[in-house]
Amino acid sequence: MIKRIAAIFLILCCTSVAWVILGTTIFARTYNVGATLSDRVVSTWGAPEEQSAPVIAYQWQDVKLVESENKGRKVTREEKHDVTTIVPIDGNRITAEFHVDYRQKGLLWFSAYVVNFAGSYDFRNPAGSDENFVFRLPLPAKEAVYDNIELSLDDRPLPLELNNSEATARARIPARATGVLRAAYRSRGLDSWRYQLGKEVSQVHNFHLVARTDFSGFDFPDNSLSPTEKRQTSEGWVLEWSYQNLVSGFDIALKMPQKLQPGPLAGRISYFAPGSLFFFFFVVFILSTLRGIDLHPMNYFFLACAFFAFHLLIA
C-alpha cells in the first residue's frame, strides 16, 4: 500500500513539473515576444494617439530704437524683432467617432481602432489691425496614417503645410474679427485615445467633447476625466464632456475594450491543473480502496497523461 501511494505521488509530482514547464513556455511565447508583436502592429496599423488643441497665434514685428556710438557720434537705428502672440481659444466643440477593429499577432489580441476626429475652435483677433495668423494642429502620433486631414477657417479650406509632427495653415484676420477654426481627419490608432487639455494644470473655456463608439467594454484610464454624461445607444455609447470654465491637470482618455488573451488563459490553466489532478487521484484512490478494486499505478499514469494531453491541446 505504501509503495503504491508513493508511486502515485511520484506520478503526480512528475506531471505537475510537466505542467509548470508547459505553463512557463506559454507565458514565454506570449510575453517575451509581446513587445516585438506590438511594434509590428504599430508599424502596420498605428500607435496610441494623443490629440491636443491647435495653437492659434499671430506674428508681428516689434520695432525698437537703439542708440549707439560711431566715431564719437550718437547714431539711432531701428531694430525689428518678430514676435509671436498666442491667442486663447474661446470655445471648443469636438467630436470623435470610434470603431474598434481587433488585430491578432502570435498569441495576443490587440485593440486597434479607427477614429474620425473633428474639432471647431472659436477665437478672435485681439489686435487693432489686420494680422497674419498661423494655425498649428499637432498630430496625435508620428506612427499613424491620416486621411482627409484639413484645416478650414469659417468653412473655407486653408492650404496645408505638413511635417512630421503638425499641420500648419496661415490666414490674414481683420482687426477685432472673430473666426472659427475647424480641424478634421480620419486616422487609426491602438489601445487608447487621449485628448490633452494641457501639459500641466490648464484652463479651458466653453469645452464640449462628444465621443461616439460602436462598442461597449471600454474603460477610462487613471488620471483622466470621467464623462459628465453618457448614454447607451443601439450601436454603442455616446460620451460627453461639457465644461464652462474647467481648470484641471487631467486629460480626457478612452481605453479600448480588450479581448480575452488565449495565451495567458492557457498558462494559468496549466499552473492550476495539478490541484485538479490531485483531487481526482484522491477520489479514485479512496473509492477503489473502499470497493476493493486493485488499480495499478500505471492506471494513474495513463490518467495523468490524459489530463496533460488535454492542456497540451489547449496550448
Same domain, 136 and 213: yes
Q: Average of pLDDT values for 80-90? A: 83
**Among the three residues 255, 274, 298, which one is the final residue of a domain in this structure?**
255
Is residue 213 in a domain?
A: yes
Q: What is the pTM of this model?
A: 0.75
Instruction: Quick: pLDDT tens for 169-209.
Output: 999 999 999 999 999 999 999 999 999 988 788 889 999 99
**Among the three residues 224, 255, 286, which one is the final residue of a domain in this structure?**
255
Give dist(CA 124, CA 142) in Å, integer: 30
3-state secondary structure of 273: helix
Grid coordinates representing 157 are 479650406
Q: Average of pLDDT values for 276-295? A: 87
Same domain, 201 and 103: yes
Looking at the DSSP bridge assignments, the partners of residue 137 are 167
Same domain, 145 and 19: no
Please check whether residue 280 is in contact with residue 302, taking contact to mean a CB–CB distance below 8 angstroms: no
Is residue 9 in a domain?
A: yes
Give dist(CA 91, CA 123) in Å, integer: 7
Output the average pLDDT for the chain: 87
Report the pLDDT value the prediction gives residue 32, as an integer from 0 to 100: 67
CA torsion sign, 190 to 235 to 250 to 119? positive
Q: Kindly indicate the confidence band of residue 120, based on its pLDDT and cuts at 50, 70 and 90.
A: very high
Give dist(CA 208, CA 75) in Å, integer: 56
Would you say residue 121 has pLDDT above 80?
A: yes
Same domain, 226 and 281: no
Please check whether residue 207 is in contact with residue 64, taking contact to mean a CB–CB distance below 8 angstroms: no
Provide the number of structural domains found in the chain: 2
Same domain, 55 and 182: yes
Task: Cite the beta strand spans of the chain per DSSP E.
Answer: 49-52, 55-70, 73-86, 91-105, 108-124, 131-138, 146-153, 156-157, 161-162, 166-173, 178-190, 192-196, 202-213, 229-232, 237-248, 252-255
Instruction: Quick: pLDDT tens for 133-155.
Output: 999 999 998 888 899 999 999 98
Give dist(CA 249, CA 232) in Å, integer: 28
